[in-house]
Homo-oligomer: A and B are copies of this chain.
C-alpha cells in the first residue's frame, strides 16, 4: 500500500503495475502484487482492465507515449529529414537501452515477458513509431526535402524496419561494425535515397 491514494484508482494501478513489471517482469508480477501495492482490492483491477495482459499493454502504451513525446520534439526540430532520422535512431537506442520494459517487450529477449504479451506489446510500439515516421515523411514531402514519389506508408514501414534493425544490432551488440559507422553509412544510403531527385 505504498502508492499514495490521492490519485484515481486506475492511475494508481498503472503506476503500481509499472513498478512491479519493471522489477519482476510480466510473469513474476501477480495481480495481487499490483492491487495491494495500489491499495485496492483485487476485484477492482477488473473494473478498470479486461485482464492482466490489458494492464501490461496499458503500461507499455504509457511508457511508449513518453518516448513518442520526446521523439516528436526532436522530429519537429531543425535539420534535414535524414538528419532527424539519424537523431531518432540515436534517441531510440538511448531510450530503449535504459527502458528495460520497452526493450524486453519489443525484442522479447529476456525472460521478462512471454510470447503472446510480448507480441501485442511489440505491435503497440511498432504502430506508434511507424506513425511517427509517417508524420515526419509527410512533413518532409510538404517541405520539399523528401521525394514526393515515395509512398509514405510503405516508406514508413521500410524505414521502421531499417531503423529497427540498426537499433537491435546496437543494443544486442551483434554488429561487426561500430554503431557510429553504421549510422553514418545508413545516413548516406537512406539520406540520398530520400532527397528529391531534382537536387
Chain A residues packing against B (C-beta within 8 Å): 130, 147, 149-151, 153-155, 157-159, 161-162, 164-166, 169, 175-177, 181-182, 184-186, 188-195, 197
Contacts and interface: CB of A to CB of B under 8 A. Distances in A.
A193 B192 CA distance: 5
A151 B185 contact: yes
A161 B166 contact: yes
Q: Is the interface of A mostly helix, strand, loop or mixed?
A: helix
A185 B155 contact: yes
15 contacts: A147-B188, A149-B188, A150-B189, A154-B185, A157-B175, A158-B166, A158-B186, A161-B165, A161-B166, A161-B169, A162-B162, A188-B193, A189-B194, A192-B197, A193-B193
A162 B169 CA distance: 11
Contacts of A130: 176
A116 to B, nearest CB: 14
Nearest to A159: B189
Contact of A176 (B147, B157, B177, B188): B157
